[in-house]
Amino acid sequence: MTPQEKILSVARETILTEAKAIANLEQLLDQNFAKAVQAVYKSKGRVVITGIGKSAAIATKIVATLNSTGTPAVFMHAADAIHGDLGSILQDDVVICISKSGNTPEIKVLVPLIKNFGNTLIAITGSIDSFLGKQADYILNSFVEKEACPNNLAPTTSTTAQLVIGDALAVCLLNLRGFSSQDFAKYHPGGSLGKRLYLRVSDIADQNQKPAVTPNTPVPQVIIEISEKMLGVTAVLQDDKITGIVTDGDIRRMLQKSTDISKLTAGDIMSANPKTIESDSMAVDALDVLEDNKISQLLAVKDGKYYGVVHLHNLIREGII
């Protein structure tokens, strides 16, 4: 076996080991999980997630997922908790503690303190008979037979299992809350995912110049309009309504047929009945029109009148593509 083949073999074994463990989690789900979800959903407080070591890293990711899907959550490191950070737990908060063994020294110190506060405690652990498992109000079983690490030591499969349970928890809560794509956009206004959900055609068109000519505009002036507005296109308007469109492609095709353009007008070379889109449509819908028709520019309209231009490059720049 070559070194490359050995590497691929180990990688495939790692993936298969973790995949098998994740598939087995479905068999471990019970009423504890359903009750834990309901406890979080009905809580008037936040979700405080804690852990130590690699479990702490997983906790921070679950916190991020919950926050982005409508469930307020904060991270509290288990080691820092017993040195002052316990003050971050409020009366109505639900606490989720993540630990593979459920028996680490920090967990044994932390859990009784949480119980004394009277907060609901949810455990994500691979050992339901552990100290954490026995103290928790609800246990989410993340048991795995072995780590993907050949020495069965480095947290690999176990942390993946914890992460998947956290995702399942977040998705169930999302479902209960009726969390919509519009809600998602509110929490992701700066990202490309959010832009796909809130950015409108008008937002794009307003950034661009507004090229326009009439059917009687001489072609040399049409070329100047297209060049000056730098969108590779101009609308052809009659009484403020779109009657056609001239693109730089139309100009090139015209010049291939004849170099004498002195008597030609926009009406002679325009494409009638161009594709348009309403200005209040979503930008992602404009992308669909562009792709379906294999074009680079799209004219926007509002109340039946010319509003502006959306260019494929605008959508690329905004991260819609």
Give 195-222 pLDDT, tens digit per residue: 666 788 999 899 999 999 999 999 999 9
State the pLDDT at residue 287: 87
Q: What is the mean pLDDT of residues 8-31?
A: 95
Question: Quick one: three-class SS letters along the chain?
Answer: CCHHHHHHHHHHHHHHHHHHHHHHHHHHCCHHHHHHHHHHHHCCCCEEEEECCHHHHHHHHHHHHHHHCCCCEEEEEHHHHCCCHHHHCCCCCEEEEEECCCCCHHHHHHHHHHHHHCCEEEEEECCCCCHHHHHCCEEEECCCCCCCCCCCCCCCHHHHHHHHHHHHHHHHHHHHHCCCHHHHHHHCCCCHHHHHHHCEHHHHHCCCCCCEECCCCEHHHHHHHHHHHCCCEEEEEECCEEEEEEEHHHHHHHHHHCCCCCCCEHHHHCEECCCEEECCCEHHHHHHHHHHHCCCEEEEEECCEEEEEEEHHHHHHCCCC
pTM of the model: 0.68
Task: With a cut of 60, say whether residue 102 has pLDDT above it.
Answer: yes
Most confident listed range (160-169, 246-255, 256-265, 289-298):
160-169
Binned at pLDDT 50, 70 and 90, residue 284 comes out as: confident
The answer to whether the CB of 231 falls within 8 A of the CB of 311 is: yes
Task: With a cut of 90, say whether residue 179 has pLDDT above it.
Answer: no
Task: With a cut of 90, say whether residue 53 has pLDDT above it.
Answer: yes
Nearest in space to 99 (alpha carbons), one of 131, 71, 73, 66? 131
Whose tokens are 């690329």? That residue is 316
- Cα 91 to Cα 81: distance, rounded to the nearest angstrom: 16
77 is in an annotated binding site: yes
Binned at pLDDT 50, 70 and 90, residue 317 comes out as: confident
State the pLDDT at residue 318: 79
Task: With a cut of 80, say whether residue 192 has pLDDT above it.
Answer: no
- Cα 248 to Cα 30: distance, rounded to the nearest angstrom: 63
Least confident range from 133-137, 155-159, 197-201, 203-207: namely 197-201
State the pLDDT at residue 301: 93
Q: How many CB atoms lie within 10 A of CB 179?
A: 18
Structural domains present in the chain: 3-179 (3.40.50.10490), 198-317 (3.10.580.10)
State the pLDDT at residue 157: 95
